[in-house]
Amino acid sequence: DGGITQSPKYLFRKEGQNVTLSCEQNLNHDAMYWYRQDPGQGLRLIYYSQIVNDFQKGDIAEGYSVSREKKESFPLTVTSAQKNPTAFYLCASRTSGVARETQYFGPGTRLLVL
Amino acid sequence: AQKVTQAQTEISVVEKEDVTLDCVYETRDTTYYLFWYKQPPSGELVFLIRRNSFDEQNEISGRYSWNFQKSTSSFNFTITASQVVDSAVYFCALSDSNSGYSTLTFGKGTMLLVSP
């Protein structure tokens, strides 16, 4: 089945540790996104990528890093520089180059700090 | 700057009541796209509708309907005869031409609670 998968569903981070969240899609979409969701804050864009080997910072990129080596994959690393990483992280993808196209979302990863 | 306002933080209704979720947006673009997503307790955002700025026709899909009014910069969402399964957080979003329409600005969401 076509879709977006995120793993793990829950992730625990210790102080000073880097952790990586996985996002994979088999929809043949060019663009991929990472959002952070905090209670009452809606969705805030962390990073996005419109094509392989290229990505742009979103509104809250500090403390995060990404890579886009393959069209299907867009992993997000939460670094030790992110002092308040506890949140729900959502990955999305869409067809690039067409303004009207819709973003579709994965099931999310909940990150908790130990 | 783009902005999406969902003034209703939480709405509680009893099953079979009709409910309207408000969305007001701000943009300087003449061409833009508006979206509604549903986030059930499981967490995944589910796409409901996309509307472009040139099409002001209202749309109905089963118990769902959307009212787009450019004059008031609003894109409201009505659920008729609500059901418990409609309980979720609903987000309104606006495309951003600064990124070539590649990114979205989201409102903070409205939590809808439908009780039996």
Per-residue pLDDT of B56-113, as tens digits, reads 888 888 999 999 999 999 999 999 999 999 999 999 999 887 777 788 999 999 999 9
| Dist CA A61 CA A78 (whole Å) | 10
Report yes or no: A32 at the B interface, CB cutoff 8 Å. no
Report the chain B residue with the minimal C-alpha distance to residue A109: B43
| Dist CA A14 CA A34 (whole Å) | 22
| Dist CA B44 CA A49 (whole Å) | 20
For residue A1, what pLDDT is reported?
63
| Dist CA A15 CA B14 (whole Å) | 45
Q: In the predicted model, is pLDDT for residue A98 greater than 90? A: no
> Cα dist. B91→A12, A62, B40 in Å?
27, 25, 11
For residue B101, what pLDDT is reported?
72
Q: List B residues 32-71 in contact with A (Cβ-Cβ < 8 A).
A: 33, 35, 37, 42-47, 50, 52
For residue B63, what pLDDT is reported?
94
Residues of chain B neighbouring A48 (CB-CB closer than 8 A)? 99, 102-103
Residues facing residue A31 across a β-bridge: A94
- How high is the mean pLDDT of chain A? 92
Listed range (A63-67, A74-78, A99-103, B16-20) with the worst mean pLDDT:
A99-103
Report yes or no: A39 at the B interface, CB cutoff 8 Å. no
A105–chain B nearest CA distance, Å: 6
Please check whether residue A89 is in contact with residue A37, taking contact to mean a CB–CB distance below 8 angstroms: yes
Please check whether residue A45 is in contact with residue A61, taking contact to mean a CB–CB distance below 8 angstroms: no
Task: Centre a 10 Å sphere on the Cβ of residue B39 and count the other Cβ atoms it contains.
Answer: 21
Residues in chain A: 114
Q: In the predicted model, is pLDDT for residue B114 greater than 70? A: yes
Residues of chain A neighbouring B10 (CB-CB closer than 8 A)? none
Q: Read off the pLDDT of residues A9-49 as tens digits, 9 standing for 90 and up.
A: 999 988 889 999 999 999 999 999 999 999 878 899 999 99
Identity (one letter) of the amino acid at A76? L
Please check whether residue B63 is in contact with residue B75, taking contact to mean a CB–CB distance below 8 angstroms: no
Q: Read off the pLDDT of residues A8-17 as tens digits, 9 standing for 90 and up.
A: 999 998 888 9
Report yes or no: A40 at the B interface, CB cutoff 8 Å. yes
